[in-house]
Copies of this chain bind each other. A is one copy, B any other.
Amino acid sequence: MEESVVVGYDEDKEQVLKRLRRIEGQVRGLHRMVEEDTYCIDVLTQVSAATKALQAVALQLLDDHLAHCVVDAAREGGENAELKIKEASDAIARLVRS
Question: B residues within 8 A CB of A96?
Answer: 55, 58-59, 95-96
The winner among A9, A20, A70 for most chain B CB atoms within 10 A is A20
Number of this chain's copies in the assembly equals 4
What sequence of 0s and 1s flags, for each residue 56-98 of chain A, a beta carbon within 8 Å of any chain B beta carbon?
Answer: 0111011111110111001101000110010111011111111
Instruction: Determine the chain B residues whose CB is within 8 A of the CB of A93 once the complex forms.
Output: 59
Residues of B contacting A8 with CB < 8 Å? 40
Residues of A within 8 A of B (CB-CB), count: 65
* B71 in contact with A81 (CB, 8 Å): yes
CB distance from A55 to the nearest CB of B (A): 6
Instruction: Report A1-32 CB contacts with B as 1/0, cut-off 8 Å.
Output: 00011111110010011001101100110110
Contact of A89 with B40 in the complex, beta carbons under 8 Å: no
Q: Tell me the smallest distance from the CB of A94 to a CB of chain B, in Å.
A: 4
A-B contact pairs, 5 of them (CB 8 A): A9-B34, A16-B34, A20-B30, A20-B31, A74-B74
